[in-house]
Amino acid sequence: MSDSNVSQLVMDAQAITTIIDNLNSLYSSAFGHLVDYTVGLLALLGIIVPVVFYWFQNKQLKLDEEMLAKKISLEIDEAKKTIIEDIQSKLAIELEGFEKKVSEMKSELKEDVNIVMHLLHAKAHHLQANSMVSIGNWGGAFEDSLKAIVGYCKAGDEANLQIVLKAMLIDIVLPNFNKGFIDKIYKLDDRVKEAIDCIEILNKNGRYKVDIIEFIQLLEAAKVR
């Protein structure tokens, strides 16, 4: 082999060696950069991942809080509704009871007023019957006595009823009564019937039976006297 060929081979070997060295340097540099990038990326991920995790955790916590708040709100609304319904139910019962008591009181008051009115009416005619007796007006005494009897019966005042029926009508008025007075009295039979019907309502155990019979007998005798 000539010297020129050997020199060319040497030059080629040197060129290849230079290229290989350059490639090694390039790969070493790239690998170093890759390592740096990898470390940097891992470091970045080490920061980002906790932040992202914290964000998701906060978001989940916020969602959980919202759901809990909604649940509590619903439960409070249900509790309010139950309480209101319970109060309304109890109030309705109380109002019903109150209205019933008021109605009963009104009825009692009305009944009391009616009793007082009947009693006043009866006493007025009782006094007037006494006045008629004192002047010998037997017709007037008879009419007022009947009205007093009706009033005392409706008021339940049996003590005064017995006084007017027995002590006044039977013992004093009817013995002095006659056809002349009877003919002047308007609707005598209707008034007598009303008085006897009222007495019959109180005639329990027949306690007014004798007085009623005597009253009718004396009145029938007066009609023909």
Whether residue 194 contacts residue 148, with contact meaning beta carbons closer than 8 Å, is answered with: no
Amino acid at 60: Q
Hey, which of 27-36, 46-55, 178-187 has the most confident mean pLDDT?
178-187
Ordered by start, the domain boundaries in the chain are 108-223
Cα-only R_g, the chain: 62
Q: What is the pLDDT of residue 144?
A: 92
Q: For the segment 121-174, what is each residue's pLDDT rounded down to a tens digit? A: 889 999 999 998 999 899 889 999 999 999 999 988 889 999 999 989 999 999
pLDDT value for 142:
92
CB-based contact 177:192 (threshold 8 Å) = no
Percentage above 70 pLDDT, the chain: 63
| pTM, full prediction | 0.54
Residues in CB range of 155: below 8 A, 6 or more apart: 115, 116, 118, 119, 122
What pLDDT, in 10s, does the model give residues 77-124? 787 778 778 777 877 787 676 667 656 665 665 666 788 888 888 899
What is the chain's mean pLDDT, rounded? 76
CA–CA gap between residue 156 and residue 149 (Å, rounded): 10
pLDDT higher than threshold 60 for residue 183: yes
The pLDDT, as a whole number, for residue 109 is: 55
What pLDDT does 93 receive?
Answer: 81
Residue 60: both structure tokens together:
């989940």
Is the pLDDT at 220 greater than 90, yes or no? no
**Pair 188, 146: CB distance under 8 Å:** no
CA distance 122 to 39: 121
What CA dihedral angle connects 101, 103, 104 and 109, to 10 degrees?
Answer: 120
Q: In which residue are the tokens 């049996």 written?
A: 158
